[in-house]
Structure 1
Amino acid sequence: MDEYKSAAYGVCRTVRDMKWHYGRKLETQFQQSGSRSLWQGLRRIMDYRSPPSRLMTNGACAEPTIEQRPLIITESDVRRVFKRVNTRKAVGPGGICGRVLKACTGQLAPVFTDIFNLPLTLGIVPSSFKRSTIVPVPKKPQPSDLNDYRPVVLTSVMMKVFEKLFRDFITSSLPASMDPLQFAYHHNRSTDDAIAHLLHTTLTHLDKGRGNYVKMLFVDYSSAFNTIIPSLLTTKLEDLGLHTSLCKWISNFLTDRPQSVQVGNYASSTLTLSTGAPQGCVLSPLLYSLYTYDCSATFSSTITVKFADDTVVMGLISDNDERAYLEEIKHLENWYQENNLLLNVSKTKELIVDCSKKQERHYQPVRISGTMVERVDSFRYLGVHISQDLSWSRHTNSLAKKARQHLYHLRHLRDFRLPSKVLRNFYTCTIESILTGNITVWFGNSTKQDRQALQRVVRSAERISHTELPDLQTIYYKRCQTKARRTPPIPTIDSS
Structure 2
Amino acid sequence: MPNRVISFGEDFFMLTPESWEEYRLLRNKVTKLVKENKQEHQAQIMRKFEQNPKLLYQIVNNQSKVKPGVSPLQTSEGTTATASAAAEELANFYSTVFCPKECVTLKLHPLLSPNDTLQDMTVNAESVLLILLGLNTKKSPGADEITPLILKQCARSLYTSLTDLFNLSLNCSMVPMDWKCGTITPIFKGGDRSDVSNYRPVTLLPVISKVLELLVANKLTKHLEGNNILSIAQHGFRKSHSCLSNLLLTLDDWTLAIDNGNPIHACYLDMSKAFDRVNHSILLQKLKQHGVTGKLLAWLENYLMDRVIQVRVDGALSKPVAVTSGVPQGSVLGPTLFLIYANDIPNLVRCKIILFADDIKLWASIHTSEDCVLLQEDLNALYDWSLRNKLPFNFQKCKMLNIGKCVEFTYTLGPHRLAWTTDEKDLGVWISSSLKTSLQCTAVYKRTSKILALLKRIFGRFTRQTLPSILNTYIRPTMEYAVQVWSPWLQKDIVLLQRIYHRATKLVTGLQSKPYEERIESLKLFDFCYRRIRGDLILTYNILHTPNHPLQKLFVRREPRISRTHDYLLAVPHSRGNSRRYFFAVRVCFAWNSLPQNVAHSPNLNIFKTNLDSFLSTQPKIEPPHSA
Match of 2:218 in 1: 168
Determine helix, strand or coil for the equivalent of 1:110: helix
Q: 2:72 and 2:334 mapped to 1: Cα distance? A: 25
Match of 1:260 in 2: 310
Match of 2:237 in 1: 185
In structure 2, the CA distance between the partners of 1:133 and 1:485, relative to structure 1 (3 Å rule), is same
Offset, 1:22: 4.9
Q: 1:57 and 1:114 mapped to 2: Cα distance? A: 48
Match of 1:398 in 2: 443
Q: 2:176 and 2:166 mapped to 1: Cα distance? A: 10
Determine helix, strand or coil for the equivalent of 1:421: coil
In structure 2, the CA distance between the partners of 1:72 and 1:305, relative to structure 1 (3 Å rule), is same
Asked if the contact 1:133/1:259 (under 8 Å) is kept, the reply is yes
TM-score by length of 1: 0.86
Residues 1:423 and 2:423 aligned together: no
Match of 2:619 in 1: none
Match of 2:375 in 1: 325
Q: 1:299 and 1:22 mapped to 2: Cα distance? A: 57
Task: Out of 112-121 and 322-331, give the one that drifted further.
Answer: 112-121
Asked if the contact 1:214/1:317 (under 8 Å) is kept, the reply is yes
In structure 2, the CA distance between the partners of 1:410 and 1:263, relative to structure 1 (3 Å rule), is closer
AA at the equivalent of 1:448: Q
Q: 1:15 and 1:426 mapped to 2: Cα distance? A: 20
Match of 2:107 in 1: none
Of the candidates 459, 465, 471, which is equivalent to residue 527 of structure 2? Answer: 471
Of the candidates 464, 469, 489, which is equivalent to residue 446 of structure 1? Answer: 489
Determine helix, strand or coil for the equivalent of 1:174: helix
Residues 1:307 and 2:356 aligned together: yes
Cα deviations by residue, 1:453-473 (Å, 9 ceiling, x for unpaired): 101111111222345231222
Q: 1:156 and 1:136 mapped to 2: Cα distance? A: 18
In structure 2, the CA distance between the partners of 1:252 and 1:446, relative to structure 1 (3 Å rule), is farther
Match of 1:485 in 2: 541
Q: 1:130 and 1:492 mapped to 2: Cα distance? A: 43
Cα deviations by residue, 1:234-276 (Å, 9 ceiling, x for unpaired): 2222222235333222222111213334444543333433421
Q: Which runs of 5+ in 1 are unaligned?
A: 1-7
Task: Out of 146-155 and 76-85, give the one that drifted further.
Answer: 146-155
Determine helix, strand or coil for the equivalent of 2:75: coil
Q: 2:309 and 2:380 mapped to 1: Cα distance? A: 36
Of the candidates 45, 50, 54, which is equivalent to residue 67 of structure 2? Answer: 50
Q: 1:491 and 1:18 mapped to 2: Cα distance? A: 52
AA at the equivalent of 1:155: L
Offset, 1:486: 2.0
Of the candidates 53, 56, 68, which is equivalent to residue 38 of structure 1? Answer: 56
Match of 1:352 in 2: 402
In structure 2, the CA distance between the partners of 1:401 and 1:18, relative to structure 1 (3 Å rule), is closer
Asked if the contact 1:219/1:312 (under 8 Å) is kept, the reply is yes
Q: 1:144 and 1:388 mapped to 2: Cα distance? A: 38
Offset, 1:437: 1.0
Offset, 1:414: 5.2
Residues 1:272 and 2:290 aligned together: no
Q: How does 1:53-452 map to 2 (within 5 A)?
A: 54=71, 56-59=73-76, 61=92, 65=112, 66=116, 68=118, 71-142=121-192, 147-176=197-226, 177=228, 178-208=230-260, 210=261, 212-242=262-292, 244-296=294-346, 298-300=348-350, 302-321=351-370, 322-354=372-404, 356=405, 361=407, 363-412=408-457, 415=460, 419-443=463-487, 446-452=489-495
Offset, 1:128: 1.4
Q: 2:367 and 2:347 mapped to 1: Cα distance? A: 17
Cα deviations by residue, 1:10-29 (Å, 9 ceiling, x for unpaired): 99999977765553332021
Residues 1:29 and 2:52 aligned together: yes
Asked if the contact 1:237/1:290 (under 8 Å) is kept, the reply is yes
Q: 2:427 and 2:314 mapped to 1: Cα distance? A: 32
Higher Cα radius of gyration:
2
Asked if the contact 1:121/1:245 (under 8 Å) is kept, the reply is yes
Offset, 1:490: 4.6
Q: 1:94 and 1:140 mapped to 2: Cα distance? A: 30
Match of 1:3 in 2: none
In structure 2, the CA distance between the partners of 1:148 and 1:317, relative to structure 1 (3 Å rule), is farther
Of the candidates 505, 508, 528, which is equivalent to residue 462 of structure 1? Answer: 505
Q: 2:343 and 2:539 mapped to 1: Cα distance? A: 25
Asked if the contact 1:27/1:418 (under 8 Å) is kept, the reply is no
Asked if the contact 1:93/1:132 (under 8 Å) is kept, the reply is yes
Q: 2:302 and 2:345 mapped to 1: Cα distance? A: 24
Q: 2:308 and 2:325 mapped to 1: Cα distance? A: 12
TM-score by length of 2: 0.69
Q: Which runs of 5+ in 2 are unaligned?
A: 1-29, 77-88, 97-111, 512-518, 544-548, 555-628
Q: 1:23 and 1:389 mapped to 2: Cα distance? A: 45
AA at the equivalent of 2:369: N
Offset, 1:420: 0.8
Cα deviations by residue, 1:39-79 (Å, 9 ceiling, x for unpaired): 212333x2443334536341595666446586222222222
Determine helix, strand or coil for the equivalent of 1:420: coil
Offset, 1:326: 0.3
In structure 2, the CA distance between the partners of 1:472 and 1:243, relative to structure 1 (3 Å rule), is farther
Kindly tell me the number of residue pairs found equivalent between the two proteins: 472
Q: 2:60 and 2:147 mapped to 1: Cα distance? A: 27
Asked if the contact 1:42/1:48 (under 8 Å) is kept, the reply is no
Cα deviations by residue, 1:306-341 (Å, 9 ceiling, x for unpaired): 111221111222113211100000100000111110
In structure 2, the CA distance between the partners of 1:17 and 1:50, relative to structure 1 (3 Å rule), is closer
Q: 1:368 and 1:160 mapped to 2: Cα distance? A: 38
Q: 2:174 and 2:420 mapped to 1: Cα distance? A: 47
Cα deviations by residue, 1:74-124 (Å, 9 ceiling, x for unpaired): 222222222232333332211212221122112122221111121122222
Cα deviations by residue, 1:336-364 (Å, 9 ceiling, x for unpaired): 1111101110121211112x3xxx64x22
Offset, 1:426: 0.9
